[in-house]
Chains A and B, each alone.
Chain A
Amino acid sequence: MLLEVNNLSVSFGGVQALNLSHFQLEDKELRVVIGPNGAGKSTFMDILCGKTKPDTGEILFNGKATNGLTEVEIAELGIGRKFQKPSVFSSLTVFENMTLAARMKKDVFSSLFFRMTPAFKKRIVAVAERVGLAGVLDKQAGALSHGQKQWLEIAIVVLQDPKLLLIDEPAAGMSDRETERTGELLLELSKEHGVIVIEHDMHFVRQIANNRVSVLVNGKLLMEGAFEEVRNDQRVIDCYLGRANAQLEKL
């Protein structure tokens, strides 16, 4: 079991943002989390990566409790996070972005005396090719297109070599072509890492949901199951329809 979550809850100003009684993820599993706006999906990831402190509950990552750890400690344990809004180091080049991200000793002195080795460079170029950024390695990250930034952020997360990838809306703002490539990338990644993906785009979900899909509504887990099962569930349809989201209908 890679990740196990029990009785997790957090509230902001009296509003229960998340109340998750149980959630678990196998190693090398790709899990898609869907749900209407404000369902607590991003909050869930915020808690997992240490950005938000939960009010109650426990998180076991590889059997180790992560409660009370800082973002850095959680990242060191092997949880990587990609945010909804792409966050990359815009004044550095793509190559530098990826160099910083790669797994290595990250204290001040190691950074001061870091020497680039050919092997290291090779690894970065390999990852860059995988996410389709090999051609823009010397470009400033801030000058990339939106989709490229998304990929760069995924690359940053992947280079950290985490056991669990938390990916928040990777396909937002991408063209169909880009979305499809992202899907392929995620599927490939799930062969080596555990992956949790938050997504709204149901075409994209169908593409990548090779395993189970979890549905979050109002901070609670509504149901879990295979994509087809979820898609045909009346409760899920209701709660999406109730919010005038016709995406499920269309499929």
Chain B
Amino acid sequence: MPDKSSKLVTLLFVLFFAIVLPAGHLMGIVSINTISLWGRYCCFAIAALGIDLIWGYTGIMSMCQAFFFCLGGYCMGMHLLLKATALQGQELPDFMVWNNFSSLPAFWQPFHGFVPAVVLALLVPAVIAFVIGFFVFRSRIKGVYMAIITQAFALGMYLLFLRNETKLGGTNGLTNFKAVLGFDLSSSNTKLALYFATVAMLCISYILCRKMMASKFGKVLQAIRDSEPRVGYTAYRVLNYKLAVFVVAAVLAGLAGMLYVPQTGIITPGRMSVTSSVEMLMWVALGGRGKLKGAIIGALLVNCLYSLCTSLFPEGWLFVLGVLYILTVLYFDKGFTGLFDKFAALLRSRRKAVVEGVPSPHAENTRVSHPAMARSSEGN
């Protein structure tokens, strides 16, 4: 029963984003900016999938996912900026001219081509995650320690990217992109295409993650979350598993960042601040940890709320976000999907009661049936 309904939800979800929204645009109801906005949210959802893998399933709180996101973003940004510079007939991007660079730094060279840029956008986060993960997991840093170390790492990188010496545009980041693969970024067709690409990537990522988590690999990850020592004594090399999922999460974040940049037209170090990483965790916590759907819903929901709040009462956004953090942790431990499941279970038990001919279901009745139902839905 839950399987069937969840499939329906997935289908409706895909239908809405792949058909209803674009159709709305073609009919002139939905503006291209709204489409682009949702495209960006879908990027965040991809990154959230990665966070769910590492945090929700494996129980490792990584607070540098925003950094990996930005790595992917910067790789794509460098490519786009080089293309834009070439289109304008200049030799060097503007910020390099302002900073008196005489020539293009060597590490910018590979980003002239689109394919190398895409490959690097995935490879660079992967390699960095591998190195960091190797040292952190090898010394068995976990739990709180892991969270703090990765947070400090994200902070250090953020500070580094703020510098002009990093040759990545400093505080202002990379912007003024013109075209991707020869298509004008400001045209609505390109925007629509990018949106479709993002939705497609989100679906593919979701399916792959789902397959991964259903495999024995996913079960080992969950086992690590439950009892890491036991996994070791059962002859699994925990380090390798953690590394693998850390790298996968970083690649997902990189992919998201890569898709994000052409749609926003700017990438700055602000995106990788400690706050952004915590916010990313919050998407997943709010959507429901340990459920891939939860991660996606959380990312979309929080960002929707963000757009809504900042346009209605800009001063209040941090209040809303802060209170949301607190309430989620205190009262909705399983997040939005958990709440949904509980609600569905409640509904089902009522319907059952009605079918069985119990006149009016007492409050007690529902309370009794409720935990059992909740547990059975957890199992899925």
Tell yes or no: A101 within 8 A of B by CB: yes
Do the beta carbons of A87 and B229 come within 8 Å of each other?
A: yes
Cα-based distance from A235 to B223 in the complex (angstroms): 45
Cα-based distance from A88 to B227 in the complex (angstroms): 7
Do the beta carbons of B226 and A99 come within 8 Å of each other?
A: no
Tell yes or no: A238 within 8 A of B by CB: no
Closest approach, in angstroms, between the C-beta of A72 and any C-beta of chain B? 5
Cα-based distance from A74 to B339 in the complex (angstroms): 44
Question: Residues of B contacting A97 with CB < 8 Å?
Answer: 223
Tell yes or no: A84 within 8 A of B by CB: no
Do the beta carbons of A92 and B232 come within 8 Å of each other?
A: no
Given contacts A71-B232, A72-B232, contact A112 B375 (CB under 8 A): no
**Chain A facing B: main interface SS:** mixed
Do the beta carbons of A108 and B244 come within 8 Å of each other?
A: yes
Tell yes or no: A114 within 8 A of B by CB: yes
Tell yes or no: A51 within 8 A of B by CB: yes
Question: Residues of A contacting B103 with CB < 8 Å?
Answer: none
Cα-based distance from A228 to B210 in the complex (angstroms): 58
Interface residues of B in 192-231 (CB under 8 A from A): 212, 215-217, 219-220, 222-223, 225-227, 229-231
Do the beta carbons of A89 and B226 come within 8 Å of each other?
A: yes
| Contact code string A52-82 (vs B, CB < 8 Å = 1, else 0) | 0000000000000000001110011000110
Do the beta carbons of A143 and B235 come within 8 Å of each other?
A: no
- Chain B, interface size category, equals 20 to 34
Closest approach, in angstroms, between the C-beta of A237 and any C-beta of chain B? 35
Interface residues of B in 232-250 (CB under 8 A from A): 232-238, 240-241, 244
Do the beta carbons of A106 and B379 come within 8 Å of each other?
A: no
Cα-based distance from A59 to B92 in the complex (angstroms): 66
Interface residues of B in 334-380 (CB under 8 A from A): 375, 378-379
Cα-based distance from A216 to B237 in the complex (angstroms): 33
What residue of chain A has the Cβ atom nearest to residue B237's Cβ? A72
What residue of chain B has the Cβ atom nearest to residue A143's Cβ? B375
Do the beta carbons of A106 and B236 come within 8 Å of each other?
A: yes
Question: Residues of A contacting B212 with CB < 8 Å?
Answer: 112
Closest approach, in angstroms, between the C-beta of B228 and any C-beta of chain A? 10
Question: Residues of A contacting B375 with CB < 8 Å?
Answer: 140, 143
Tell yes or no: A211 within 8 A of B by CB: no
Given contacts A89-B227, A140-B379, contact A108 B233 (CB under 8 A): no
Choice from A100, A112, A160 contacting B223 with Cβ under 8 Å: A100
Tell yes or no: A111 within 8 A of B by CB: yes
Given contacts A75-B235, A156-B234, contact A108 B225 (CB under 8 A): no
Do the beta carbons of B217 and A111 come within 8 Å of each other?
A: yes
Cα-based distance from A54 to B234 in the complex (angstroms): 21
| Contact code string B83-110 (vs A, CB < 8 Å = 1, else 0) | 0000000000000000000000000000
Tell yes or no: A205 within 8 A of B by CB: no
What residue of chain A has the Cβ atom nearest to residue B244's Cβ? A108
| Contact code string B114-144 (vs A, CB < 8 Å = 1, else 0) | 0000000000000000000000000000000
Do the beta carbons of A114 and B215 come within 8 Å of each other?
A: yes
Cα-based distance from A83 to B233 in the complex (angstroms): 10
Tell yes or no: A12 within 8 A of B by CB: no
Question: Residues of B contacting A75 with CB < 8 Å?
Answer: 232-235
Cα-based distance from A100 to B232 in the complex (angstroms): 11
What residue of chain A has the Cβ atom nearest to residue B212's Cβ? A112
Do the beta carbons of B216 and A90 come within 8 Å of each other?
A: no
What residue of chain A has the Cβ atom nearest to residue B223's Cβ? A89
Cα-based distance from A71 to B219 in the complex (angstroms): 20
Do the beta carbons of A71 and B215 come within 8 Å of each other?
A: no
What residue of chain A has the Cβ atom nearest to residue B238's Cβ? A72
| Contact code string A154-168 (vs B, CB < 8 Å = 1, else 0) | 001000100000000
Tell yes or no: A49 within 8 A of B by CB: yes
Closest approach, in angstroms, between the C-beta of B24 and any C-beta of chain A? 39
Tell yes or no: A37 within 8 A of B by CB: no
Question: Residues of B contacting A111 with CB < 8 Å?
Answer: 215-217, 220, 241
Cα-based distance from A143 to B296 in the complex (angstroms): 29
Question: Residues of B contacting A249 with CB < 8 Å?
Answer: none
Question: Residues of A contacting B220 with CB < 8 Å?
Answer: 100, 111
Cα-based distance from A87 to B229 in the complex (angstroms): 9
Tell yes or no: A21 within 8 A of B by CB: no
Interface residues of A in 76-128 (CB under 8 A from B): 76, 80-81, 83, 87-93, 96-97, 99-101, 106-108, 111-114
Do the beta carbons of A91 and B222 come within 8 Å of each other?
A: yes
Cα-based distance from A228 to B225 in the complex (angstroms): 45
Do the beta carbons of A112 and B236 come within 8 Å of each other?
A: no
Cα-based distance from A122 to B223 in the complex (angstroms): 22
Given contacts A140-B375, A143-B375, contact A113 B215 (CB under 8 A): yes
Closest approach, in angstroms, between the C-beta of A76 and any C-beta of chain B? 5
What residue of chain A has the Cβ atom nearest to residue B230's Cβ? A87
With A72-B236, A91-B222, A107-B237 given, name 11 new contacts (CB 8 A). A71-B229, A87-B227, A88-B227, A91-B290, A92-B223, A100-B220, A100-B223, A108-B217, A108-B240, A112-B212, A140-B375
Q: What are 6 pairs between A and B in contact, CB < 8 Å? A: A72-B235, A88-B226, A89-B223, A90-B227, A101-B234, A114-B217
Residues of B within 8 A of A (CB): 212, 215-217, 219-220, 222-223, 225-227, 229-238, 240-241, 244, 290, 375, 378-379
Closest 10 CB pairs of A and B: A75-B235, A114-B216, A111-B217, A89-B223, A89-B226, A111-B216, A112-B217, A87-B230, A71-B232, A87-B227
Residues of A within 8 A of B (CB): 49, 51, 70-72, 75-76, 80-81, 83, 87-93, 96-97, 99-101, 106-108, 111-114, 140, 142-143, 156, 160
